Structure 1
């Protein structure tokens, strides 16, 4: 792809051979992909106007013409080039430019100047673009470009600050990807970026945040040198120094080496990167990350949901914390823009911050069990009054087995069983008629006697548990009087047992 040096070579070619000449004829190919909204108007906009000067920034080229009206802005795309008839064009390593035939192959725009000189813009793969603009410097895309690494290379201090602004804006990109960003350094393409990093001994995946002062200085120096040397050679790669990586990288990712050291290929910033692992190593250091402002520190974590009154409160608190983090990131990006950060850096930072916010919103803010409401144990008894009277009955019974019966009552689930009371806690060996006699002697009411009768009928063999009678009564409509009567029958039976023992003696 034509990069800054190749486009600069085209600029010099046109200026040297055609500057000051008037355009007599413009021949525009029928290709709406190349000519952006100007296929039908480009001819009239160019014919009759004199070429005053040729301008370039990054990979864009435009002509300054006399008179009023728009001027053409050209981007070379992947295979674009300018040819001057009888003179030639810029040399490309892997692109064959037809300079022998006229009009040349893949010609998209031909300009005929006074005196018979001709110029052609050719583009085989049709990724190039031609637009008409009033002032490219104040219009997009040129107005959005960063510094031009050939003609506008900043000082080391300004260059370091530019890197720091990208880092402070939240960028986590690798250095190769940053160099390819035209909003940072216009004119740097794939081969220039690889050459700079190779000569500066920096790994393509080196995080910008970890760039040390020595690495930044080396990269700044090599960008200056490579820009100057390539332009002085008129972008003729055959004139580049023999120790440049450029001469060894065009292998289609096949094994290669330079000075006996292996060249490897990785993908960084969606582009294939050639580098020498033995010389370009990842370095972990404080670097630019230590220059982050205080406002960029991580926001306090949201309070845990366990400390909130309920799950809804926890979600609201977590949402507030997430919004605060997003606001701080946006404020930081705005500050970076105010300091002069490139529009491309701001956009990349906003996208990264938005994604992070979305991920945080999708993550649970704290413990989410029951959304803040702990699982409650089932009630002792579905109907609270029944439980209260059962507890009173056990107190009257005044026995360990009666207390155990009350515990079983509290453990009953989902209302399938009612009050289970240990009414008859006597030994299974006691006569079945004992509870009935005891109830009679004790002057108990008819309900107690009926409860004792129920126990006799159900436990005629003496093998079943005596408390079954009380449980049966407890299941009948949940009546509290039956539970109390059963408990009373148990207490009466306990009082009768010693008397029978005395009679036996």
Structure 2
């Protein structure tokens, strides 16, 4: 079964950057190997061989992040900029960089295996008098992650693509992500506020659960248009975004350490017998779907104060009965650790029913979707003339599909 990793969001990325700074920065790379994966490397204009050559013999100067992107800068360009996609992750030999539940599903022999399964590139640092060599690997089972080379001075990496096209990070860019910035951007758009928050061109790093959490704390309805909120409501949203993102990053995305009153702690397992339907405060949990995206919210707190997007579909929480009769099927959201994703449909969401297509139409659609960048903002996707949807790619091991990771 395919091992699942924490959701990709800025919190998961912050966790990895934390480990890279601890274990890799300041080291010189003695050896590197990369496979020639046309999805992970080729779709962003490089190759496994070029990544190998860029890493070998170079010293790692720094590691950083912006939203769902992260990078390592080397003593000479090009530098590596990475995105986890749905199932990407960085492993360090001898260090448990992922979350507790990830390792619970694995055999000890799989945990000890090096390089790990589904590796795309791995490296080993020089041995020195003080420390043993460090071994680092980038893995990705579903191959939606992206690893690219950026040719620029290391201190200007954020002024180059793809980082320059993304909005400010609420944690990294506190001086840019201000209340006035948020107000100006929200007033200039006429989209549901949930869609606004997920647009990486507006704000970097907010995925599905983070958007829901911030809207809950701000007491805003997820489907209300972004340009219909008062200044006081926008102020609450700005404070909520800063609060949720900062605390999650401070905890390195470890959901075991999230506050119990957070929506995150009670939103999972929809449709399961015994699943939470209320928050500790007594507020009812509900779900709503627009455009194929599921939003979890508390309708008793998150009231509509302005125009709401038409066509919102409420999703009742249907518990499975114990009488032996089958209840109406509800695609459940898996219990997860951190994510991710994303303009990335990170969680196991209820998707809107689509009309049946012929095999020829389906094959053409899959081919077209496979070429779409995974981190396109909603406006860019709209210009492409289709909604964002995960693309099924070949997986080495057979397993149940769960969108628990970010896409590129």
Match of 1:205 in 2: 223
The CA distance in 2 between the partners of 1:179 and 1:93, in whole Å, is: 28
- Contact 2:27–2:60, Cα closer than 8 Å, also in 1: yes
- The structure, 1 or 2, with the larger RCO (C-alpha pairs under 8 Å, 6+ apart) is 2
Match of 2:234 in 1: 216
Q: How does 1:20-419 map to 2 (within 5 A)?
A: 20-36=26-42, 37-67=46-76, 69-91=77-99, 99-115=111-127, 116-135=133-152, 136-154=157-175, 158-168=178-188, 171-252=189-270, 256-259=277-280, 260-268=282-290, 270-284=292-306
Deviation at 1:346, TM superposition (A): 8.3
Alignment of 1:19 onto 2:25 = yes
Distance 1:3 1:217, change over 3 A: same
Please give the per-residue CA displacement for 1:80-119, whole angstroms capped at 9, x wherever unaligned: 1111111111328789686433222222111111122101
Deviation at 1:235, TM superposition (A): 1.2
Deviation at 1:39, TM superposition (A): 2.0
Match of 1:2 in 2: 8
Deviation at 1:26, TM superposition (A): 1.0
The CA distance in 2 between the partners of 1:160 and 1:38, in whole Å, is: 42
**Matched position secondary structure for 1:147:** coil
Higher helix share: 1
Please give the per-residue CA displacement for 1:369-393, whole angstroms capped at 9, x wherever unaligned: xxxxxxxxxxxxxxxxxxxxxxxxx
- Contact 1:176–1:268, Cα closer than 8 Å, also in 2: no
- Contact 1:4–1:150, Cα closer than 8 Å, also in 2: no
- Contact 1:8–1:56, Cα closer than 8 Å, also in 2: yes
Specify every segment of 5 or more residues in structure 1 that has no aligned partner in the other structure, as ranges: 286-342, 353-505
Please give the per-residue CA displacement for 1:184-208, whole angstroms capped at 9, x wherever unaligned: 1101111111110111111110211
Deviation at 1:161, TM superposition (A): 4.2
- Contact 1:83–1:120, Cα closer than 8 Å, also in 2: yes
**Matched position secondary structure for 1:62:** strand
Relative to the length of structure 1, the TM-score reads: 0.53
Match of 1:435 in 2: none
Please give the per-residue CA displacement for 1:224-275, whole angstroms capped at 9, x wherever unaligned: 1112211221111111111111111222565632223332222246422111
Deviation at 1:173, TM superposition (A): 0.3
- Contact 1:176–1:269, Cα closer than 8 Å, also in 2: no
Distance 1:351 1:70, change over 3 A: closer
Distance 1:134 1:155, change over 3 A: closer
The CA distance in 1 between the partners of 2:31 and 2:120, in whole Å, is: 14
Deviation at 1:284, TM superposition (A): 2.1
The CA distance in 1 between the partners of 2:256 and 2:250, in whole Å, is: 12
The CA distance in 2 between the partners of 1:349 and 1:34, in whole Å, is: 24
Deviation at 1:53, TM superposition (A): 0.4
Deviation at 1:351, TM superposition (A): 9.9
**Matched position secondary structure for 1:72:** strand
Specify every segment of 5 or more residues in structure 2 that has no aligned partner in the other structure, as ranges: 1-6, 128-132, 308-375, 386-408
The CA distance in 2 between the partners of 1:109 and 1:351, in whole Å, is: 32
The CA distance in 1 between the partners of 2:283 and 2:85, in whole Å, is: 33
Distance 1:269 1:176, change over 3 A: farther
- Contact 1:9–1:234, Cα closer than 8 Å, also in 2: yes
- Contact 2:78–2:149, Cα closer than 8 Å, also in 1: yes
Please give the per-residue CA displacement for 1:309-358, whole angstroms capped at 9, x wherever unaligned: xxxxxxxxxxxxxxxxxxxxxxxxxxxxxxxxxx9698699999xxxxxx
- Contact 1:176–1:205, Cα closer than 8 Å, also in 2: yes
**Matched position secondary structure for 1:109:** strand
Please give the per-residue CA displacement for 1:108-146, whole angstroms capped at 9, x wherever unaligned: 111111122101111122110011111342322211011
RMSD: 2.7
